[in-house]
Amino acid sequence: MPARLFDLTGKSAIVTGCNTGLGAAMAIALAEAGCGIVGVNRSDPADTRARVEGAGQRFVDVRADLAALDAVDSIVAASVEAFGRIDVLVNNAGIIRRNDALTFSEADWDAVIDVNLKSVFFLSQAVARQFVRQGAGGKIINVASMLSFQGGIRVASYTASKSGVLGLTRLLANEWAAKGINVNAIAPGYMATNNTAALRDDRERNDEILARIPAGRWGAPDDLAGPVVFLASPASDYVHGHTLAVDGGWLAR
Ligand code: NAP
């Protein structure tokens, strides 16, 4: 297998929500494959910056709140100014709100849809316009969920947003594949991050979930390293519109 299939030397990637959790692991994995990183966060990504720089890559720190669209154009501009081009976008930033469907509030609906779905579309649109200007295609990797495939419970807006991410991934692939733009998604299973702290703290839910995962353990952020490098690299050039479950076998059950 030629090593260059997975080589990202000289490329640059925008990774949203990379100060912690899955985004941090994916940014570091891309950097270790040779990619410079534009990290988009609300809070300080100090640890991720240190790890990316430790891998010998440049880290550009862009602070933005993806609950609104104001920052979309400036994220693209900052990336182009720093690296001269964009090669990869990882739409990772996401939030979750839990409540019964009978009492779920409009605020909890809008907050989740705005970050998890609306900003994913409009940042993808802005980056794809840049890919078209560059004339050499590009890679967009969305972060989906088990709730892109399943209904879940007490997470109405999250399920709607992540099911939407799966559909949007297919739509964008249909429109942009002929332009050399690969749009795919990673659907993490149950991963040990802040996002799932409440589930892991609930002993009963923790045990139920663990018992159902064929791999017998929660996922670790580093489990996304190989999949994200694959989808960012020439190795996946003919993969379009796919949502890749990285779930310890959860969906196979
Ligand atoms: P996490 O530890 O809570 O991290 C979420 C990230 O999103 C943080 O970097 C956060 O940055 C960023 N973010 C949230 N709201 C933002 C906003 N308005 N503007 C900019 N950035 C924002 O969660 P995670 O588990 O790593 O999740 C990452 C992605 O994977 C999410 O899309 C999540 O839905 C998805 N996912 C997670 C799991 C899991 O089991 N953990 C499973 C399936 C899918 P700030 O700290 O700066 O807000």
Given a contact cutoff of 8 angstroms between Cβ atoms, the answer to whether 26 and 88 are in contact is: no
CA 128 – CA 149 distance, rounded (Å): 26
CA distance 142 to 146: 13
Q: Ligand 1 centroid vs 45 CA: distance in angstroms?
A: 13
Looking at residue 219, what DSSP letter applies? B
- For the domain spanning 2-192+220-248, the CATH number is 3.40.50.720
**Can you give the residue ranges of every domain in the chain?**
2-192+220-248
Residues paired with 89 in a beta bridge: 14, 140
The CA 21 to ligand 1 mean position distance, Å, reads 7
Q: Which residues line ligand 1 (CB under 6 A)?
A: 16-17, 19-23, 41-43, 65-67, 92-95, 115, 143, 145, 188, 190-191, 193-196
CB 221 within 8 A of CB 24: yes
Q: Which of 158, 190, 218, 230 is catalytic?
A: 158
| DSSP3 helix / strand / coil % (the chain, rounded to 5) | 50, 15, 35
Report DSSP state, residue 34.
T
- Name the closest-CA residue to atom 23, ligand 1: 195
**What's the gap in Å between 7 CA and the centre of ligand 1?**
26
Helix (H, G, I), strand (E, B) or coil at 81: helix
pLDDT at residue number 3: 62
Instruction: Select from 89, 195, 205 the residue to mutate for testing ligand 1; criterion: most ligand atoms less than 8 Å from CB.
Output: 195
Q: Residue 167: what pLDDT?
A: 99
Q: How many angstroms separate the alpha carbon of residue 87 from the centre of ligand 1? A: 22
- Give me the tens of pLDDT residue by residue for the chain, a chain 253 residues long: 566 999 999 999 999 999 999 999 999 999 999 999 999 999 999 999 999 999 999 999 999 999 999 999 999 999 999 999 999 999 999 999 999 999 999 999 999 999 999 999 999 999 999 999 999 999 999 999 999 999 999 999 999 999 999 999 999 999 999 999 999 999 999 999 998 998 899 999 999 999 999 999 999 999 999 999 999 999 999 999 999 999 999 999 9
What pLDDT is stored for residue 186 in this prediction?
99
The yes-or-no answer on residue 190 being catalytic is no
Q: Specify the residue with its C-alpha closest to ligand 1, atom 32.
A: 94
**DSSP β-bridge partners for residue 91:** 142
Tell me the pTM.
0.98
